[in-house]
Amino acid sequence: MALAIFDLDHTLLDSDSDHAWGQYLVDKELVDPAVHKHRNDHFYEQYKAGTLDIHEYLAFSLKPLTDYSLEDMLASREAFLNERIVPMISQKSRDLIAHHKRQGDTLLIITATNGFVTYPIAELLGIDHIIAPHPEFIDGGYTGRVVGTPSFQHGKVIRLNEWLEEQGYELTDSWFYSDSHNDLPLLEIVDHPVAVDPDDTLRKVAEDKGWPVISLRDQET
């Protein structure tokens, strides 16, 4: 039984759930539209460039959770999942997940997108295990802070090693699927790294190292 690890955004999903959540808040006017959209887009460009300050970004992305009641945020998230996330899940992603389940593998998502957004996405995908920046929750509400190391860049390796120790798993015969050069630290340590619809930097590394390059998009663009 192997461990099959998946990045989420632009890998199992054909877009970015983190950026989409920010845009959803803008569209529903739950945040200042102009200010939030500008900062959301700015952070997204930093992510793509590999220069994102994850702590600064998480403080920004978790702030709306402190501005509304838990009930209101959960209702907004449910609508967001149905309207924005479900259409991002391709049949090829579902087929890949099903393939690893048939193999008897343990499936794990590891993502830099905060758990408020991503925990229910893992449930939608039928994946039991997920590592994500965990929003701190005290006395019935979110504080706007995260607990532990954010799972971004080398932080994904740190969080994965913690998880492996807790669960008693090893990386022998492990797989990791990702689209992003931000995930190179983790891609480098698994037995089967796979580039999925990769960015230009990751595509070059994958070609140089002979890693498989695949697409999980149902329609090529």
User: Is 188 within a domain?
Assistant: yes
Annotated active-site residue 9? The verdict is yes
Residue 219 within a domain: no
Read off the pLDDT band of 1 (50, 70, 90).
Answer: confident
Give residue-wise pLDDT tens across range 142-191.
999 999 999 999 999 999 999 999 999 999 999 999 999 999 999 999 99
- Domain of 155, CATH number, reads 3.40.50.1000
Residue 221 maps to a domain: no
pTM of the predicted model over 0.85: yes
The active-site residue, picked from 9, 16, 18, 183, is 9
Query: Does residue 118 lie within any of the structural domains?
Result: yes
**Number of domains the chain contains:** 1
Q: Of 7, 16, 18, 183, which is the active-site residue?
A: 7
Identify whether 114 is part of a domain. Answer: yes
Q: Which domain holds residue 175?
A: 3-214
23-40, pLDDT tens digit by residue? 999 999 999 999 999 999
How high is the pLDDT of residue 221? Answer: 41
Amino acid at the residue 62: L
Whether residue 67 lies in the annotated active site: no
Residue at 181 is within a domain = yes
The angle at the Cα of 213, spanning 211 to 217, to the nearest 5 degrees, equals 155
> Considering the domain boundaries, does residue 190 fall inside one?
yes
Q: Note the pLDDT tens digit of each residue in 132-142.
A: 999 999 999 99
Helix axis angle, 115-125 to 70-80, nearest 10°: 40
61 neighbors 16 (Cβ within 8 angstroms): no
Is 220 within a domain?
Answer: no
